[in-house]
Structure 1
Amino acid sequence: MKNPIFIWIIKLIVVVIFLQTLYFKFTASEESIFIFTTLGIEPYGRIGTGIVELLACVLLLFPRTMLVGALLGLGTITGAIVSHLFVLGISVKNDGGLLFILAIITFLCCLLLIYSQRSKIPDLLKLKI
């Protein structure tokens, strides 16, 4: 999986999905408030998640930090998927499961990005203090 165009397409899918949902988180849309209230973490969870997603977007755009951005994105979106499965349900406020589908797409794209950078994982684990 060394095709740089394919990697950029996957990165852009994640970034576009995260940035689109950030708009709703940071503008305190009714749906975002409902989700994070249901989870019991409104407003701090909504804003905190938004900041983490924004950081993941920035990290994904640079080759040196892409792996960290993908890991951060994967961790964040895993929380969203678990929330959908165990608390919110697949469909939130009659969205037909759109948010859940976007979460699954983001999860798979982050996994592909991590897989494409798997050779760098050992270096990431070496802490240089």
Structure 2
Amino acid sequence: MLHRIKQVAAIILPLFIAVIFLDSLRFKFTDAPETQTIFGLLDGWAASWGADGLFAHTGLFSQYVIGMAELIASTTLLIGFIPALRRLQVLGAALGLAVMTGAVSFHLFTPLGIDPNQDGGGLFVAACGVWLSCAALLALKRQEALAIGCGFIRLLIPATSR
């Protein structure tokens, strides 16, 4: 029974994450009023401590940069359904977790708040759901995640010959 739940979760989690990310791109890439409100509030907050432009259209954390990260995460999650490329889902989940950690943190710890667009907090709930889904997918695929992590470490720290 547990094995079957893991199999279903391995299909549903990446699809859920990808759908939420891909749906949000229409707001980020078209400069929708909702996106302008969110990134405008964040840019004003950043400017108050000397980082003006950080969330602006050409900023390091602009809606376009975040949108591209979400697009890459979605793409790797979906391409990861190809058996030979299944490890890409781990990378997509890790990238999604990083992006959503930022999103949830900004909702909680900046003037953005939980309901910046007066949608009843739906955006915040979706961010939390995606964050939890990414974390669950990484836990589910922890062996692949460890293998990828070890591979990166081997790249960074070359083996010494004795």
Q: TM-score, normalised by structure 1?
A: 0.93
Partner of 1:26: 29
Of 49, 55, 60, 2:66 maps to: 49
Is 1:39 aligned with 2:56? no
Partner of 1:84: 107
What displacement does 1:119 show? 1.1
> What stretches of structure 1 of length at least 5 have no aligned partner?
none
Q: Is the 8 A contact 2:76 2:88 kept in 1?
A: yes
What displacement does 1:122 show? 2.5
Q: Identity of counterpart residues, as a percentage?
A: 36
Q: Is the 8 A contact 2:100 2:130 kept in 1?
A: yes
How many residues matched? Answer: 129
Looking at structure 1, the residues matched to 117 and 133 of structure 2 have their Cα atoms a distance apart, in angstroms, of: 25
Q: Is the 8 A contact 2:87 2:144 kept in 1?
A: no
> What stretches of structure 2 of length at least 5 have no aligned partner?
44-54, 81-85, 156-162
Letter in 1 for 2:131: F
Looking at structure 2, the residues matched to 121 and 12 of structure 1 have their Cα atoms a distance apart, in angstroms, of: 19
Looking at structure 1, the residues matched to 101 and 37 of structure 2 have their Cα atoms a distance apart, in angstroms, of: 19
Larger radius of gyration between Structure 1 and Structure 2: 2
Q: Which moved more, 1:98-107 or 1:1-10?
A: 1-10
Q: Which has the higher contact order (CA 8 A, sep 6+)?
A: 1
What displacement does 1:120 show? 1.9
Alignment of 1:106-125 (within 5 A): 106-125=130-149
Looking at structure 2, the residues matched to 42 and 18 of structure 1 have their Cα atoms a distance apart, in angstroms, of: 20
Q: Is the 8 A contact 1:91 1:97 kept in 2?
A: yes
What displacement does 1:57 show? 0.2
Looking at structure 2, the residues matched to 103 and 11 of structure 1 have their Cα atoms a distance apart, in angstroms, of: 14
